[in-house]
A and B are shown apart, each in its own frame.
Chain A
Amino acid sequence: MNKEDLSFKVKQATNVNVRECYQCGKCTAGCPLAEQMDLRPSVIMRMLQSGDEQDMDNVLRSYSIWLCLTCETCYSRCPMELDIPKIMDYLRQRSLVEGKVNSKARNIVSFHKSFLNTVERNGRLHEMGLILEYKMRSGKLLQDMTTAPGMFTRGKLSILPEHIKDKKSLSRLFKNQDKNSK
């Protein structure tokens, strides 16, 4: 495998050799969201095999990589035991770093960012904080106006976050993340 080759880079980052895929299509057949994807899982695998930079660019700009729910059905059924969800994680992380996030996926990314922000602040997820920050980021101010009061009366939504005590140890994890492991 040529070191400049795309599939080599994928292998290096994920330890998955996309060239082992023989296009049986089982991953796409079992994927709960394949119907809604612009590029289906087996097609993404084929595009990664091609070694074509334009193919990689199209994959990184696809909606599919953000629609993947990491349900792990594809990996569990793959006859070659290829860890496709791990590849999806790698592609999402690259898409984000390279500023190629598909516009239809903006809300999904906003949600994940809001989630990690509340964890960075408190050490634990604060659901109320997550919902408020997500509303601000996505502009979906009116969403769940009927669900939130129901959560509140059932004791499922706390106003104040829980904090961990050792905040320092946590901020070390958020700071200076290793680029190679991204």
Chain B
Amino acid sequence: MKIGFYPGCSLTGSSREYNESILAISKKAGIELVEINDWNCCGATAAHNLTKELSVSLPARNLALAEKDGMEELVVPCAACYNRLVMTQHELNENGGLKALIADKLQMPLKNNIKILNVLQFLEKYFVPRFEELIKYPLAYDVACYYGCLLVRPNKIMKDERWEDPMSMDSIMQKLGANALDWSFKTECCGAGFSVSKPEIVGELSGKIVRNAVDRGAKAIVVACPMCHSNLDMRRPAIESYLKRNVDVPVIYITEAIALAMGITSKEAGINRHFVPVNLTVNR
């Protein structure tokens, strides 16, 4: 089975393990993720902060290219890219004038009706129904599922019914054999794009998230966004300096958790690339 795939820039660099793990689990499940030919950056925070037009034209080029490649469904694992693509699709469908302007600049037709899936929707649709066959080794740990902002908000557009207390990742982790903890910071902001320009703010916002997860007994924090991962994992020194204590709780992508439970090695899933060592094992 072939499905459209938009990795986004983080997955080619600082979040390589997210790319490696989603490709590894898909390959093992017999799903081929096909990259959009010649995709470009979605523009991320920088574009919508500085220029209105680029914030829609950059994502729109990818949507048009995906249509050109004949894709009907597009998997977008990066929560930030997912958010920008969905917001663009929504905005262009609401604003016919803007859509015409952008299509004209792209010099490509844009039907703008491709189905965009985030990683949780992708897993729910293509993996969860086959878990009995795919999952070999339970991942029996207490975990805190951290959703962050971009998968659930703005709720008027993302349409998650439980946007203040989402459960889709919790439900997947339970099915892997983990105990998904009830905790308070599921959808708080980690500091996102301030990782480089305001690392002390990231230390504070991410510090509060990590502290609550650890205080509730989490042995791992599970994420579905490269920015959340970078801030909680790579920015651990800033977090520890805010909390004034050492914290060794690892941060794993949901796709890495599934990889381990499917019997894929840590190395194949890229888990050796983390800054905070991941000490989770499955009984083989």
B135 → chain A closest CB, angstroms: 28
CB < 8 Å neighbour of B154 from A76, A178, A182 = A76
The closest CB in chain B to the CB of A122 belongs to B41
Contact A182 B189 (CB under 8 A): no
Task: Give CA–CA (A109, B12) in the complex, Å.
Answer: 24
Known: A125-B41, A154-B273. A32 touches B52 (CB 8 A): no
B241 close to chain A: CB less than 8 A: no
Contact B40 A113 (CB under 8 A): no
State which of B167-175, B197-205, B213-221 sits at the interface with chain A. B197-205
User: Which of B12, B38, B41, B201 has the largest number of chain A CB atoms within 10 A?
Assistant: B41
Task: Give CA–CA (A178, B52) in the complex, Å.
Answer: 9
Known: A89-B48, A111-B196, A115-B46. A69 touches B41 (CB 8 A): no
Contact B13 A156 (CB under 8 A): yes
State which of B53-61, B123-131, B246-254 sits at the interface with chain A. B53-61
Task: Give CA–CA (A67, B49) in the complex, Å.
Answer: 11
A127 → chain B closest CB, angstroms: 5
Contact A111 B197 (CB under 8 A): yes
Contact residues of A: prevailing secondary structure = helix
Chain A neighbourhood of B105, CB < 8 A: 172-173
Contact A134 B53 (CB under 8 A): no
Contact B196 A116 (CB under 8 A): no
A16 close to chain B: CB less than 8 A: no
Task: Give CA–CA (A146, B275) in the complex, Å.
Answer: 12
B163 close to chain A: CB less than 8 A: yes
The closest CB in chain B to the CB of A105 belongs to B197
A70 close to chain B: CB less than 8 A: yes
Chain A neighbourhood of B38, CB < 8 A: 123, 164-166
Contact A169 B153 (CB under 8 A): no
Contact A71 B192 (CB under 8 A): yes
B127 → chain A closest CB, angstroms: 26
B26 close to chain A: CB less than 8 A: no
The closest CB in chain B to the CB of A172 belongs to B105
List B residues 15-60 near A (Cβ within 8 Å). Answer: 15-16, 38-41, 43-55, 57-58
A131-163 toward B: CB 8 Å interface, digit per residue (1/0)? Answer: 100100010000110110011001111100010
B88 → chain A closest CB, angstroms: 13
B95 → chain A closest CB, angstroms: 9
Known: A76-B155, A112-B45. A177 touches B51 (CB 8 A): yes
Chain B neighbourhood of A156, CB < 8 A: 13-16, 273
Chain A neighbourhood of B187, CB < 8 A: 73
B156 → chain A closest CB, angstroms: 7
Contact A181 B50 (CB under 8 A): no
A24 close to chain B: CB less than 8 A: no
Known: A125-B9, A178-B101. A164 touches B39 (CB 8 A): yes
Contact B47 A162 (CB under 8 A): no
List A residues 90-114 near B (Cβ within 8 Å). Answer: 90, 92-93, 96, 107-113
Q: Could you list some 14 contacts between A and B, CB below 8 A?
A: A32-B205, A33-B201, A66-B49, A70-B49, A71-B149, A71-B189, A73-B149, A108-B194, A119-B46, A126-B13, A138-B197, A164-B40, A172-B105, A173-B105
Q: Which residues of A contact B (CB under 8 A)?
A: 32-33, 36, 66-67, 69-73, 75-76, 81, 83, 85, 89-90, 92-93, 96, 107-113, 115-116, 119, 123-127, 130-131, 134, 138, 143-144, 146-147, 150-151, 154-158, 162, 164-166, 169-170, 172-174, 177-178, 181-182
Given contacts A36-B201, A182-B52, 16 further A-B contacts (CB under 8 A): A75-B156, A85-B154, A107-B197, A108-B198, A109-B50, A110-B197, A111-B196, A112-B45, A112-B46, A113-B50, A123-B41, A144-B196, A151-B234, A155-B273, A164-B38, A174-B54
